[in-house]
Each structure stands twice: as C-alpha cells, then as structure tokens.
Amino acid sequence: MYYDIINLVMKMNLGNRIIDLRKRKKWTQNDLANKIFVTDKTISSWESNRTEPSLETIIKLSELLECSVSYLIYGNTKKNDIETEIKIKLSKNEFHEIEIFMKNNAKFLNESKQFDTYYQPIHRKFLKGGKEIINEWLRIGIRGNKKILNYKNWYNNMYCDEYEVEIDNENNLDKILKVLGMEEIAIVNKTRNTYFYLNKYEIALDYVENLGYFIEIEVKNYNESVMNEYDKLLKLAKDLNLNLDSIDKRGYPYHIIYSSK
C-alpha cells in the first residue's frame, strides 16, 4: 500500500533522481532493471513519473544506487534547510521494547554502521558552567562507500540549520579544515536501525559505542511551522511512552568528550 504523502513528493521528483543516480553509475535502464529484477519499461515508467515504485522497491533502489531512502523520496532539501528532531537516552530494556514496537508498527528502512568525526571552529567556542557548549559543528560521516560533510547549528536544542555535501577529495578537505582553524572534537561510532513511522517520521534506534542506547525521531514531512512540528514530536514521544526528562540536549560529541574526562 503506497503512502499518500510519499506519492505526492515522488511524482514531482523521484524520476529525475533515479535518472541522475543511474547515469552516475553509467548504467542503462536495462542495467538497472536487471539488478532490481524488473523490466526496462518499468524503469522508464518510474523515470518519467508515470508510475511509482513501492517503498520496498525504493529501499532496494537506495542500496543499488548508494543513496539514502530519504534522498530518493525527499531529495536534498528539508523545510528551509532546517532539521527538527529529538534524541532520547534509553535503557537497554527500553531500547528493546521500542525496537519490538517499531518492527510491528513501522516500516523498516535499513541498518547501517556509521562512523562520524566531528569538528568545531576553535574561535567560536564558549563556556558555561566550566564546560564548552557544543551547538555548532562540522561532521564527516562515512555512509557505505560515501563520505559526507555535514554542518549543523542548533537553536534552543529543538531544531537546527543543516547543510551537507558529498566529499570527493578528503585530503584537500583536511587541509581546508586546518586552514580554517577547525579542531577535531569527537569520534562517534554507532549502529543505527532506521524506520519510517506514521508516514511522517524517521525513527532511528542507535547503539553508540561507549555511550549506550538512544532513539532519534526526525520530522520528514512538514505540515505546520517548525515550533508546531516540535510540539508534535514531544506528543509522539509521550505516546511511545518515552521519558521526556531523558531528552538529550547535548548530542553525541558532547558526551564522547566529557565521558573521557
């Protein structure tokens, strides 16, 4: 059964994204068809936006084309390049309970191993209570065969500016970061299982090495203002019996830094 809101977005953009990613692989429509076990006419129909693949097929396409499911469905843009999400620390038992719930009630997207190196501009740090407040950083993340440079700047721990590009020359990037005075502040190694819930939310269940278990809920389909969407996130967390007192307002880099001090 197709998701109505996904269909609306896919009709406008999915075909063009499939074409672009397929051509980057230097595959013909027939090449892609053979890899995903459909006909070249089916590929042509998707690329011309006459029909849409199922979500199960989109997941397979994302694996073959080496991109995220979210990119295929939504493209690069979020609402004004803003990300709205909450992250909550879980006990091991809480993690397994929500994992069972997601398996039974949400659409599983993928499992991934993620290795992220975080950087922060030295000249823009400030202290509070004797500790650095980390609300702005660059992140180099390894996603399969790709390396992604991501920038985030958080506001009130509710939403953030977010921009990202794929890295094609890591050595030159390292030199640029050093020239700009960027300092490596943390390395985060995690296993992430991602689900799509209520046709609106991407829910990630993370096990982070040396930190433990977390759930991250992100808005993927905006219908209202950022503040209203954040309020809905809090209500969803309550509905899932999550402890709002355990909302993480620092982020993985902060905990990595201060757990080692």
Per-domain boundaries in the chain: 4-74, 82-259
Model pTM above 0.75: no
d(CA 22, CA 67): 11
- Half-sphere exposure in the Cβ direction for 61 (13 Å, CA): 27
Start-to-end C-alpha separation, the chain: 50
d(CA 190, CA 236): 24
CB 120, CB 136: distance < 8 Å = yes
pLDDT of 127: 43
From the list 18, 21, 69, the residue with the least C-alpha distance to 194 is: 69
Q: Among 154-163, 165-174, 208-217, which range has the highest average pLDDT?
A: 208-217
Tens-place pLDDT, residues 223-250: 877 777 888 999 999 999 999 889 987 7
pLDDT of 210: 93
Pairwise pLDDT comparison (46 vs 3), residue with the higher score: 46
d(CA 233, CA 86): 7
Tens-place pLDDT, residues 7-64: 443 344 788 889 988 998 899 999 999 999 999 999 999 999 888 888 778 888 988 8
d(CA 58, CA 21): 13
Q: Which residues, listed in sequence order, are joined to residue 159 by a DSSP beta bridge?
A: 84, 155
Element (H, E) at 128: strand 127-128
Q: Average pLDDT of 96-101?
A: 97
pLDDT of 108: 94
Q: Is 66 left (phi over 0), alpha (psi -120 to 50) or beta?
A: left
Q: What would the two tokens of residue 162 be?
A: 């977010």
d(CA 95, CA 97): 5
Q: Could you tell me the CA-to-CA distances from 258 to 121, 190, 235 in Å, in that order?
A: 18, 18, 30
pLDDT of 45: 93
- Alpha-helical (H) ranges within the chain are 4-24, 29-36, 40-47, 55-65, 69-74, 92-105, 170-179, 226-239, 252-259
Strands (DSSP E) along 198-250, which ranges?
201-208, 212-219
Instruction: Look over the chain and give the mean of its residue pLDDT values, rounded to a whole number.
Output: 83
CB 75, CB 21: distance < 8 Å = no
pLDDT of 124: 62
Question: For the structural domain made of 82-259, what CATH number should be given?
Answer: 2.40.320.10
pLDDT of 158: 59
Pairwise pLDDT comparison (51 vs 101), residue with the higher score: 101
Q: Average pLDDT of 80-104?
A: 90
User: How would residue 196 be classed by pLDDT, with cut points 50, 70 and 90?
Assistant: very high
Element (H, E) at 117: strand 107-121
Q: Average pLDDT of 136-148?
A: 84
Pairwise pLDDT comparison (32 vs 255), residue with the higher score: 32
Topology at the third CATH level for domain 4-74: 434 Repressor (Amino-terminal Domain) (1.10.260)
Tens-place pLDDT, residues 63-85: 888 877 767 776 654 455 567 88
